[in-house]
């Protein structure tokens, strides 16, 4: 039997909202399913919330709303946070990504999330 986890895209306006929504979808209120991209990748890889047999699927309802909200402005906000915390050797790269996001170019937070799903759980995400 395939477990289906539903993500309500209407409730996702920020990356922090995404972490809350996916955590609750998998593990109930207050649930955890990653709070950064690396942790999400680990969770999708199995043994950290999704069934170990990988017999699961995520349905991202109202994903177009999430796509819009997790666009370049939210990406710029996330990159500002990253820039404030990153190692000095990474600052130039993050600053360049931030400049691109502020200009409305480059990958968005939504794209980052899709990339993790595509890499770690191909075919396990349905955009509805």
- pTM of the predicted model as reported, rounded to 2 decimal places: 0.93
Residue 47 has pLDDT above 80, yes or no: no
80 vs 49, which has greater pLDDT?
80
pLDDT in tens, 69-121: 999 999 999 999 999 999 999 999 999 999 999 999 999 999 999 999 999 99
Which residue's structure tokens are 């990474």? 90
Q: Alpha-carbon distance 118 to 39, whole Å?
A: 15
Of the pLDDT bands very low, low, confident and very high (cuts 50, 70, 90), residue 29 is very high
* 16's tokens: 């922090």
Residue 48's pLDDT is what?
A: 60
pLDDT at 1 over 90: no
What are the CA-CA distances from residue 81 to residues 21, 59, 66, 72 (Å)?
21, 29, 20, 14
Question: Which pLDDT does position 67 carry in this prediction?
Answer: 98
Residue 54's pLDDT band (cuts 50, 70, 90): low
Using a pLDDT cut of 90, give the percent of the chain over it: 82
- Positive or negative torsion for Cα 41, 44, 47, 53: negative
What is the C-alpha separation between 78 and 93, in angstroms, rounded? Answer: 14
Rounded CA separation 67/75 (Å): 11
Q: What is the pLDDT of residue 34?
A: 85
């Amino acid at each position: 039997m395939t477990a289906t986890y539903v993500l309500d895209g209407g409730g996702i306006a920020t990356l922090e909202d995404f972490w809350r929504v996916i955590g609750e979808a998998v593990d109930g209120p207050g649930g955890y399913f990653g709070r950064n991209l690396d942790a999400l990748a680990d969770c999708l890889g199995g043994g950290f919330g999704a069934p170990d047999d990988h017999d699961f699927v995520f349905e991202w309802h109202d994903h177009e709303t999430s796509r819009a909200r997790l666009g370049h402005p939210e990406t710029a906000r996330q990159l500002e946070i990253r820039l404030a915390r990153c190692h000095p050797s990474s600052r130039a790269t993050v600053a360049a990504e931030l400049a691109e996001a502020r200009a409305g170019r480059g990958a968005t937070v939504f794209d980052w999330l899709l990339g993790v799903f595509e890499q770690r759980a191909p075919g396990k995400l349905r955009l509805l």
